[in-house]
């Protein structure tokens, strides 16, 4: 094998490696963009979950207050016929 032929073979292999490297670099960039999108979506979902938990706590508290108020009103009016007793 001559030096020129060996050099040509090495040059072709190097070009192929450069092409593969370019493809892999593009793939990494795509994966990084996808990661960024997913992280942003995760952050948004976490914020929505916190908001939903806050609303759930607030609604549960309001429901308990309304239930206690209804029971209190039912007890105050127990001498009058006002329908069936409230559960709980």
Report, as an integer, the average pLDDT of 70-76.
88
**88 pLDDT above the threshold of 70:** no
Rg (CA), the chain: 35
Question: Taking the domains of the chain in order of start, what are their residue ranges?
Answer: 40-67
Residue pLDDT, tens place only, 4-59? 899 999 999 999 999 999 999 999 999 999 999 999 999 999 999 999 999 999 99
* CA of residue 1 relative to chain centroid, distance: 60
- What pTM value is reported for the model? 0.57
């Amino acid at each position: 094998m001559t030096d020129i032929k060996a050099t040509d073979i090495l040059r072709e292999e190097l070009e192929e490696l450069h092409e593969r490297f370019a493809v892999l670099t593009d793939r990494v960039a795509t994966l990084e963009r996808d990661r960024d999108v997913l992280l942003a979506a995760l952050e948004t979902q976490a914020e929505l979950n916190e908001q939903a938990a806050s609303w759930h706590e607030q609604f549960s508290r309001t429901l308990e207050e309304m239930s206690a108020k209804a029971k209190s009103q039912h007890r105050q009016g127990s001498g009058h016929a006002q329908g069936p007793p409230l559960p709980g």
